[in-house]
């Protein structure tokens, strides 16, 4: 859906922001670009909607080389969410959200009805927040409006540059989880920029780890954490990468012991993350928790700390 072919961007002052970049984002996939400040993430993203043109190489969207595309028409097909959100201060939340549909000629009433639906979808009550102005919202609420506004035009492609960056860690995690749920229904093709590895791991189907202007590794989160491709990536993902892997590895039936006569207590479902399972285990005096099958609601077995260890090893072997 989005394809970079040997793309280099040099700014007029001689700075090479990205060099010989090649990668692809499949339809319905969320790829997170992660790396330290100044490594070329935003430059990469802006080459997708032609806010910046490459010095050499090609960017294709839906098979079409966008060098020849009309930037205005292109941007209508590509939603753009940025940290500072950029809401119109003198328009209400509802008007802000309805901006693009109205711009492309959707009748006002229909545009507003759609905007209200989207506000609801991102967790804002249109009857409460719709008539407010941006300055009457919290940072987290403004970011939700930013996401709703980008979705209002129903673009197949979304670019998100540090979309959850301006809010505190607790709100950020909630927004990320809500966004994941939302993405399961809307299935957009998404390029998301972040400097936060945890965010990339939580949201990305695949992650591109940037060094200075190049991609050091492009892989699924579990693969990145199990097998960093270079010393740079290893140091970027950190010595505690084993802990981070808990979040991207699921509890499977093979990790369990027979249910036996376990007294009912804390339980998790098959498919839950090991992180969630370990958190539950740490609360249990017995050091064992029940795991249930979400399809049948019946016990599937018992998870112990050894089971968590086995699961991590199994996942690591699968990635290798």
CA dihedral sign, ordered 70, 74, 75, 76: positive
Site for Mg ion in 30-69 (CB under 5 A): 42
The one of Mg ion, ligand ADP, none whose footprint includes residue 92, by CB under 5 to 8 A per kind, is none
Phi, then psi, of 44 in degrees rounded to 5 = -55, -50
Applying CB under 6 A, among 30, 40, 149, 308 the residue interacting with ligand ADP is: 40
CB of 192 to ligand ADP, least distance (A): 12
CB of 111 to ligand ADP, least distance (A): 33
Q: Would you call 201 helix, strand, or coil by DSSP? A: helix
Instruction: Please list, in sequence order, all residues whose beta carbon lies within 8 angstroms of the beta carbon of residue 269, skipping any fewer than 6 positions away.
Output: 251, 291, 292, 293, 294
Cβ nearer to ligand ADP, comparing 36 with 238: 36
CA distances from 124 to 111, 132, 146 (A): 17, 11, 12
Applying CB under 6 A, among 6, 11, 103, 107 the residue interacting with ligand ADP is: 11
Cβ nearer to ligand ADP, comparing 18 with 256: 18
Whether residue 155 contacts residue 147, with contact meaning beta carbons closer than 8 Å, is answered with no
Cβ nearer to ligand ADP, comparing 40 with 101: 40
What tokens does 139 get?
């940072």
If binding is defined by CB under 6 A, does position 39 make contact with ligand ADP? yes
If binding is defined by CB under 6 A, does position 84 make contact with ligand ADP? no
Whether residue 247 contacts residue 273, with contact meaning beta carbons closer than 8 Å, is answered with yes
Cβ nearer to Mg ion, comparing 42 with 106: 42
Q: In whole angstroms, what is the distance from residue 155 CA to residue 101 CA?
A: 11
Helices (H), the chain: 41-46, 71-76, 93-97, 99-103, 108-121, 126-129, 139-152, 169-186, 197-203, 221-226, 231-237, 241-245, 274-283, 305-319
Element (H, E) at 4: strand 2-10
The one of ligand ADP, Mg ion, none whose footprint includes residue 49, by CB under 5 to 8 A per kind, is none
How many CA atoms does the CB half-sphere of 110 hold within 13 Å? 9
Q: Which of 274, 214, 213, 271 has the alpha carbon at shortest distance from 242?
A: 274
Q: In whole angstroms, what is the distance from residue 192 CA to residue 190 CA?
A: 6
Q: Choose one: 7-15, 222-230, 235-243, 261-269; the region binding ligand ADP (CB under 6 A).
A: 7-15
The one of ligand ADP, Mg ion, none whose footprint includes residue 17, by CB under 5 to 8 A per kind, is ligand ADP
Applying CB under 6 A, among 8, 20, 28, 38 the residue interacting with ligand ADP is: 38
Applying CB under 6 A, among 1, 2, 7, 17 the residue interacting with ligand ADP is: 17
Cβ nearer to ligand ADP, comparing 15 with 318: 15
Cβ nearer to ligand ADP, comparing 98 with 200: 200
Site for ligand ADP in 174-203 (CB under 6 A): none
If binding is defined by CB under 5 A, does position 267 make contact with Mg ion? no
Contacts with ligand ADP by CB under 6 A: the residue count is: 11
Q: In whole angstroms, what is the distance from residue 280 CA to residue 274 CA?
A: 10
Q: Choose one: 12-20, 63-71, 143-151, 286-294; the region binding ligand ADP (CB under 6 A).
A: 12-20
- Interacting residues toward ligand ADP by CB under 6 A: 11, 13, 15, 17, 37-43
- Interacting residues toward Mg ion by CB under 5 A: 42
């Amino acid at each position: 859906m989005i394809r970079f072919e040997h793309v280099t961007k040099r700014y007029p002052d001689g700075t090479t922001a990205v060099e010989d970049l090649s990668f692809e984002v499949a339809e319905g996939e969320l790829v997170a670009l992660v790396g330290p400040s100044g490594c070329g993430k935003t430059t990469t993203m802006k080459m997708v909607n032609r806010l910046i043109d490459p010095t050499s190489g090609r960017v294709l969207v839906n098979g079409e080389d966008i060098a020849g595309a009309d930037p205005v028409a292109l941007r209508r097909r590509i939603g753009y969410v940025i940290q500072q959100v950029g809401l119109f201060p003198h328009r209400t939340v509802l008007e802000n959200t309805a901006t693009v549909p109205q711009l492309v000629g959707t009748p006002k009433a229909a545009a507003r009805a759609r905007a209200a639906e989207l506000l609801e979808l991102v967790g804002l009550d249109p009857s409460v927040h719709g008539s407010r102005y941006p300055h009457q919202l919290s940072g987290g609420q403004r970011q939700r409006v930013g996401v709703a506004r980008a979705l209002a035009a129903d673009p197949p492609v979304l670019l998100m540059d540090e979309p959850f960056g301006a809010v505190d860690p607790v709100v950020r995690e909630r927004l990320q989880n809500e966004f994941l749920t939302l993405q399961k229904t809307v299935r957009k093709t998404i390029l998301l920029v972040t400097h936060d590895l945890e965010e990339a791991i939580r949201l990305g189907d695949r992650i591109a780890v940037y060094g200075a202007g190049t991609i050091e590794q492009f892989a699924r989160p579990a693969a990145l954490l199990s097998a960093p491709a270079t010393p740079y990536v290893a140091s970027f993902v950190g010595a505690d990468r084993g802990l981070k892997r808990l979040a991207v590895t699921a509890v499977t039936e093979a990790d369990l012991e027979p249910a036996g006569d376990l007294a009912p207590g804390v339980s998790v479902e098959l498919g839950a993350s090991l992180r969630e399972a370990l958190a539950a285990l740490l609360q249990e005096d017995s050091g064992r928790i029940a795991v249930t099958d979400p399809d049948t609601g019946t016990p599937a077995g018992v998870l112990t700390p050894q089971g968590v260890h086995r699961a991590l090893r199994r996942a690591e072997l699968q990635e290798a």
